[in-house]
């Protein structure tokens, strides 16, 4: 996907399927790019895109897994805050240095219900771990902390819209495979209806 400077915003996803066709349809004034899977590659990709394109704002779109019952498959949310967190931290078996930043708020508003989303180091499969993580967030996504951290560091407004593709637990991947295309398509259609790309 070729990008130009002078765009009004940049839409990102981890993988092409999560763009639900945005990369191939006209989106006047917006650039579209992929950042890869996982927080570290997403952060590196975001930093490179900021340096190369200098977008006025960034919108990350994709999927998330829900903790508990507060969200259901197919729900579309705006991320109010991305929280980098892990099970050992919650269990007090690990800690972050006092001055490390591990929470990043969204810095522009989307017309969707808001939720705090955990940016975990890997996909959570254990139900007991999901219960613990639910104390910090409503859902999880791997790339969010990398995207939000890079944008905050560069002073670029950032937001994220996610579709719930699965419940967090042993069946996460099976549910994601069954639902991700449909929920991503519904998310993009909703963003278009709400005028987010206008």
Question: What pLDDT, on a 0 to 100 scale, did the predictor assign at position 3?
Answer: 60
For residues 25 and 46, the answer to whether their CB atoms sit within 8 Å is: no
- Spell out the domains of the chain, with CATH numbers in brackets: 9-193 (3.40.50.1580)
Distances (CA, A) of 29 to 2, 32, 108, 186: 13, 10, 18, 22
The ranges of the chain with pLDDT < 70 are 1-6, 23, 26
DSSP SS3 for 196 = coil
Question: What pLDDT, on a 0 to 100 scale, did the predictor assign at position 195?
Answer: 93
Report d(CA 31, CA 23) in Å as an integer.
9
**Which of these, 192, 180, 193, 162, lies nearest to 26 by C-alpha position?**
192
Where do the H-state alpha helices sit in 54-163? 87-90, 127-133, 144-154
Question: What pLDDT, on a 0 to 100 scale, did the predictor assign at position 21?
Answer: 83
């Amino acid at each position: 996907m070729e990008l130009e400077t002078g765009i009004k915003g940049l839409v990102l996803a981890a993988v092409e399927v999560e763009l639900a066709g945005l990369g191939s349809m006209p989106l006047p004034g917006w650039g579209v790019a992929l950042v890869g899977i996982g927080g570290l590659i997403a952060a590196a990709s975001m930093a490179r895109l900021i340096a190369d394109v200098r977008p006025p704002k960034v919108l990350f779109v994709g999927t998330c897994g829900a903790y508990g019952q507060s969200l259901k498959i197919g729900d579309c949310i705006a991320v109010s805050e991305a929280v980098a967190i892990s099970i050992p931290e919650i269990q007090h078996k690990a800690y972050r240095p006092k001055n490390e930043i591990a929470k990043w708020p969204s810095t522009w508003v989307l017309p969707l219900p808001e939720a705090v989303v955990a940016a975990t180091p890997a996909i959570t499969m254990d139900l007991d771990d999901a219960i613990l993580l639910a104390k910090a967030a409503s859902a999880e996504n791997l790339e969010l902390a990398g995207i939000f951290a890079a944008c905050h560091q560069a002073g670029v407004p950032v937001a994220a819209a996610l579709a719930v593709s699965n419940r967090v637990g042993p069946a996460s991947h099976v549910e994601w495979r069954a639902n991700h295309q449909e929920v991503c398509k519904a998310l993009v259609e909703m963003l278009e209806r709400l005028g987010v790309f206008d």
